[in-house]
Structure 1
């Protein structure tokens, strides 16, 4: 995820950056944050498909936030824009560019509102975390860090009582959540069962081969003959959507 912060006050940029970095939403905390000190600087770099969310100060120098937002809207009608302002008096002027929300400075006093805005602006992204149980406590794993899930790992056999999350970075994470429950939770995401009790993250696949998947981390996963056609179709559908 890529998030832009456009504000002519260095302190305000740093404060919002810190709030996002410490955010309880993992996808946001790990996002690429791009900081700009003026509307002109941002627009010179702006590419609609390269930004997921913009935080934009209303009061800036030569090109203020409203004018910057108008220029953004000419290229991206639906890109979420959140206005930053030191006074609610400036909020009304921004409605003409259909903002996703407003945050009053200082941001440190608006953290609940920030979380609410993030959840509303990025529903499909911030929800991409797998919640599993480990030793009686819940942990959340971003979908993007998962390579595959199975019921056997190098350190434990999960079987029906648990499963093992294999991360792209190479680590294995035995969890108490059953494989069946993990499959259910990931049923609406881009994961496919390519072998008995083996669920692959299609985003982690580098290539489809005659008998399996080559993953981006160098690992090889088998595809059963029974599931090959269905799995290949799921992968091609994923590529077309991406």
Structure 2
């Protein structure tokens, strides 16, 4: 994919490029990044299919970010635009061009917010889970995950890791902690049905009186405390599908 960064500050462009290349989303980390020093420079060669995502600094010399966004919208109504700003003063005016989000500079201090925006406006970027295994990054397709728990007593660097259970029955004991993995998988399709057990609804074959039977034949429990809420969430998931 191609991402444009439009900002008249060279250091700001460089910082955002570094943050995007280490954000943890493979699609974004491998994207082609195109820096532009002004709205005029960006618009000179812009076409509706030029980019899949645009970062726009609001306060620029010449054509500012909001005016640049208005001109983009005349050609590309659905293109995700993320505003960069050092102040929230322009938020109301900016919403007239339907941005995907706002990031306060410096972006290095709002990585979590950036990741949230990327996952919302680029759904395909969230198709993998990135974990740490033996000190290296490992990416697992979410569609392959049945559930995640803290089986055993695996500890890495003084803290407990977790186990990612795949639909094939394979178990991956990873270094990433359960809270880290649960936060990364936070969506309507992954729900904690038991203490430190996160199940993937797409892996469920049927709802039982005390748990789930999975498509690979395994069974995972649902706590009595969470049964009503979990079963309701599962029914809503089935209706969406």
What does residue 103 of structure 1 align with?
103
On the 8 A contact 1:39/1:64 being kept in 2, the answer is yes
Q: State the distance in 1 between where 2:110 and 2:32 align.
A: 22
Equivalenced residues, count? 153
Q: State the distance in 2 between where 1:14 and 1:133 align.
A: 26
Distance 1:127 1:89, change over 3 A: same
Distance 1:108 1:133, change over 3 A: closer
The offset of 1:179, in angstroms, is 6.0
Root-mean-square deviation (CA), in Å?
A: 3.3
On the 8 A contact 2:70/2:97 being kept in 1, the answer is yes
On the 8 A contact 1:132/1:177 being kept in 2, the answer is no
On the 8 A contact 1:57/1:65 being kept in 2, the answer is yes
With the length of structure 1 as denominator, give the TM-score of the two structures: 0.55
What does residue 54 of structure 1 align with?
54
Q: State the distance in 1 between where 2:84 and 2:31 align.
A: 19
Q: State the distance in 2 between where 1:30 and 1:78 align.
A: 22
Q: Hey, which bits of structure 1, 4+ residues long, moved more than 4 A? A: 130-135, 176-181
Provide, for residues 186-218 of structure 1, a one-character-per-residue CA deviation record: whole Å limited to 9, x for no partner.
x9xxxxxxxxxxxxxxxxxxxxxxxxxxxxxxx
Q: State the distance in 2 between where 1:37 and 1:133 align.
A: 36
What does residue 206 of structure 1 align with?
none
- The reply on whether 1:29 has 2:29 as its aligned counterpart is yes
Distance 1:178 1:88, change over 3 A: closer
Distance 1:178 1:41, change over 3 A: same
What does residue 126 of structure 2 align with?
127
With the length of structure 2 as denominator, give the TM-score of the two structures: 0.56
On the 8 A contact 1:40/1:63 being kept in 2, the answer is yes
Q: State the distance in 2 between where 1:62 and 1:21 align.
A: 29
What does residue 92 of structure 1 align with?
92
Q: State the distance in 2 between where 1:180 and 1:48 align.
A: 44
Q: State the distance in 1 between where 2:121 and 2:50 align.
A: 16
The offset of 1:51, in angstroms, is 0.6
On the 8 A contact 1:27/1:128 being kept in 2, the answer is no
